[in-house]
Structure formats: structure tokens, C-alpha cells
Structure 1
């Protein structure tokens, strides 16, 4: 058995290959499953976005005070501004992402097999390549969604314009800047999300294997079948580690990107202008505005999404793949 096959089949095949999945069931069940997770965790994204764009005079406000203010002015719906736009665009974006992730990951495992890396290193490289490529390919859909949803998240807050809905945001953006108005911050989005996705998936792939090895279940125990509870704990821990790592590394770029995307269409600030203003207002710590909510967001989203994703793969595995 090759090292790749051993790595894939280790731990009683706790990882399920793309060719072993019922694709129709995977996409249909996945759409419902991830929508449910998004409903539960979306308010964290709203709070994180508001903290990143808040003006200087209210920059000291905490995540708790932002939540209280949203609930006071808009009630529960205020924590779901832009949600409709995100859900509408998330389905095709997620299909592209997951398909790319799994196919590139499998190809990467084969590509690096001759180098005889350790199993955690193989997982980090293959998962990282898959995550980065998947993010790059899905940005064409994701960036316009991001622009519209984030404008809705901060509308009326700290001087930002108000809109009647997602279509109103898109119409005004196109009127002001053409189609590129929906791709404001595209370059930074690629710089933020592609490395973030690469770091996240690389950290997840390697940390999960390190944890299994620490527990004494290496790839030499190919028939080991962990209990569902143990499997979920290890995968959840891997997701938590991955989310924490990615949030710390990429928050500065995410702050700049968010500010560029939510600014008024008449405001022509560049990325350099945003950087200068952040430094002038808060010094270098300004780049880490919203780190707490983003840390919580990426860790919570990461852990929840990976548990849902791994459960989805197990549920959609063909009979001969388990």
C-alpha cells in the first residue's frame, strides 16, 4: 500500500474520498445542513464587520455593546442584515468550493507521494493546496455577495448609507462604478481568503493527524475505527485550531478589505489610504479591530462547519466507501 493510500485509509477510513461520495445527495443534503449552520452563526459575522468599520469616536465599543445596540434599534432581524443575499449566493459558491477542495486535495496527495513526507506534512500540503485553489475559484461569486451583505450589515451604523435591500445595494454600486463596483476589494479578498483558506485547511489536516498520533492511533493501525464521539471530538479540535490559526494570521488584511467594501460608492479611498487612516487613528493595533469576534467567528464557524462537513461526507458515502 502506498503512503497516500495508507494516509487516506488510516484510522478506519475516517476520511472519505471524493470518488466515494454520492454527489447528488452530497449537494442536496449539504445545502440544507450548511444553511442551518449559517443561520446559527451569522450574527457573529455582523458584529465582527461592525467592529472593523466603526468610526474613531466609537472605536472603543465592545462586541457586547454592539449586540445590545443592534437589538435595541432593529431587534433580532438586525443581526441578520444581508442574510438573504448570503444564502442566495452561498449555494453556488459552496458547490464550487467543495468540489474544487476535494478534487484538488486528492490530486495533491498523489502529486506529493514521491516525496515521502510525514503524514501530517502530507495532509497540510494537500489540504492547503485544496483550500487555496477552492477559494480562488469561488471568489468570482463570493466577492459580490460579500460586498452587498457587508454594506447591509453596517447600513445606518457609524454614518454608513442605508439601503432598501440587496438589489438596491447592487444597483447603486453598479450605477456608481459599473460591474467593478460589486468587485471592490477583489484583490484583497483573494489575498485574504485564499491564504486564509490554505492556512485553515492545512492546519486542520495536519492538526487532526497529530492529535490521532498523540492518542496512539497512527497510520499503522489501518483498521482502527474510532467511536462517533471520539471522531467528532478530534475533528472539532482540529477545526478549532485551524480557525484560531487562520484568524490571527489574516485579520489585518480582512480589516482593510472590509473597510474598502463597505465605503460609500462616492468615496474613492484606496487600500493605501485605508492603511494610513487605520494607523493614524489607532496605530498598528487598528489592523486587529474585531479580532475577538473574528477569532470567535472563524473558530466557531470552523468547528461547526467541519463537524457538519465531515458528518455530511459520512452520510453521503456510497456503500462500498465505508
Structure 2
């Protein structure tokens, strides 16, 4: 295979083909989630309304030190198997849908003055499709991440949740997830495309531009959607809570009401720092991986 550095990267057909886009997306998704998983575990724990003082963390450093010293470093990786199982297929669907709808809406046409609308539409469509697939895996992941989780196996967790709470437990957060991720993805993709074009107007293959654009896009999108992510975490971990009000929450509005009553505005920023810290490097890595694999697969 020719060195990727020698490829006139942006000279490749933007619509590289569904199979290429899906494979590149799957590889990028697995890479992204696996690398940043410990920080994501800390974010989940900081967002949960814990009843035990030992499960309350004041910051990323505090959480990392306490979890690693009391539970061991392995606890920060608990639930990663669920992400790996779900991330590949979900990201394959995500990027495949994104590229297909982007082409359909005219997002690959440089003469189209409304390219940003096309990319926003494509990003939102991709999210609706991929989240439907990923939501159950995300529920399993967070059930395994919480403090003193009883689960060590994703399969066991899935069976137990289904047996005790039914199929709805895997999708109770789906409307909240979509409410969060559709604007997240639209902001992310639009910001990414705009910054990438600004940094690399010549269209020459430039990994640095993908890293910077991806990181900034992820940080911005992650920060503005944090309140919805707090609500999503509450709903997805409700079955592990000893609080009757949280256990009986039924949807996004219930989650918002509980968060506001317990912690006011501050409650909606729970996990903001680790969320941004997760999305900046993970998005940078995801976009770099996606663009790299997309080029590499085409050159094989």
C-alpha cells in the first residue's frame, strides 16, 4: 500500500462508497471509545446522584485516585466490552449514514452555498440510526461503571436488566439520547467541516487538521450538551439507585425535575470537565482514524 502521506487525500472521491465508510467508521469508533474509556467511567460516576459519601467525587483527579486506590485500575475499564461490542456496528451505521445523506443533500458539492445545512442534516440522520443500535450497549456500560456495580460481564448485565426491568430499560433514555445527540452531532459535524476547511483550504492530506478540527468540534459539542447527558445517565442507571424517586423516573422530564430539585443549575453541569476531556481527544482520534482508514482502505 502506498504511504498515506503521498495520497492527495481530499482529491479522493468524497463519496467513497458505503462499505468503505462503514468499515472506517467501525474501526474509528472502537479506537475512540477504548482509548478514552477510563475518563468516561469517571464522568459516569460524577453524574450519578449517589447516596453513599464514598461514591461522591469532587473532580477528575479525586475520582481517579480514589477509584484506583480502593477498587484498582481495572474498575476504570469495567464495561468496556459492551462499548467494543456496540461501537463497531453503531459507528459503521453512523458514518455510512452520514456519508450517504451528505452526498444526497449536496454536502459534497463545493459550489453548494448551503453545505453546512447538508452536513447538519446528514449528521442528525446518522445519529438517529446509530443511537437506536447503541443505546442498549450504553445502558449496559453505565450499569457496569457505577460505584459498587454487581456486574463484571456485559452479557450477565444485559440478562439481569432484561429479566428485572424488561426491554424498556434499554430504551428509557433513547428520547433523551436523541435530544442530546442530534444537536451534538449536528454541531460536531458542522464545526468539524468548517474548521477543517479553514485549516486545510488546499485540500492536501493533513492529519493535523483532522486532529485539531475533531478535537475542537468534540469539545464544543460535548460542553453544550452536558445537561442532557446528566439526565441520560440518571435514566440509564436508575435501576442501580436506592432512591425510590430515581428508580421510578420515567423519562427526560422526570430526570430534569430530579436534577433541579437535588442540585439546581449546578446539577446540570455534573461531569462537564471529564465529558469535555473525553470528547476532545476522542473526537480528534475518531476523526483522524476515520479519515485515515477511509483513505487506507481505498488504497488497499
TM-score normalised to structure 2 length: 0.84
Q: Does 1:311 align with 2:264?
A: no
Residues 1:251 and 2:251 are matched in the alignment: no
Deviation digits for residues 9-40 of structure 1 (CA, Å, limit 9, x no counterpart): xxx6526445435936x655765554344322
Which residue of 2 is the match for residue 55 of structure 1? 50
CA displacement at 1:54 relative to structure 2:
4.1
The change in CA–CA distance for 1:314 and 1:259 in structure 2 (over 3 A counts) is same
Contact 1:22 1:317 survives alignment (8 Å) = no
Structure 1 residue 141, shift from structure 2 partner: 1.3
**Alpha-carbon distance in structure 2 between the residues aligned to 1:304 and 1:178:** 36
Separation in 2, partners of 1:29, 1:92: 11
**CA 1:55/1:313 → structure 2, altered by over 3 Å: closer, same or farther?**
same
> Which consecutive unaligned segments of at least 5 residues does structure 1 have?
1-11, 218-223
Structure 2 spans left out of the alignment, 5+ residues: 1-7
Q: Of the two, which has the highest radius of gyration?
A: 1
Distance 2:47 2:13 in 1: 38
Q: Secondary structure at the match of 1:163?
A: coil
User: Which 10-residue stretch deviates more, 268-277 or 146-155?
Assistant: 268-277
**Cα distance in 2 between the residues matched to 1:208 and 1:74:** 41
In 1, the alpha carbon distance for the partners of 2:203 and 2:198 equals 17
Distance 1:275 1:110 in 2: 36
What residue number does 1:43 align with?
38
Relative distance call for 1:62 and 1:302 in structure 2 (3 A) is: same
Asked whether 1:172 is paired with 2:157, we answer: no
How big is the shift at 1:134?
0.7
* RMSD between aligned residues: 2.7
Is the counterpart of residue 132 in structure 1 residue 127 in structure 2? no
Scaled by the length of structure 1, what TM-score is found? 0.79
In structure 2, what is the Cα distance between the partners aligned to 1:236 and 1:283?
A: 36
- Among 191, 199, 207, the alignment partner of 1:203 is 191
Deviation (angstroms), 1:249: 1.5
Aligned length: 285
Aligned partner of 1:103 among 100, 105, 124: 100
Deviation by residue 1:257-298 (Cα, 9 ceiling, x = unmatched): 111101127711233333233223322021011100111111
User: Aligned to 2:66, which of 65, 69, 79?
Assistant: 69
Q: Which moved more, 1:174-183 or 1:48-57?
A: 48-57
- In structure 2, relative to structure 1, the CA distance for the partners of 1:64 and 1:269 (3 Å cut) is same
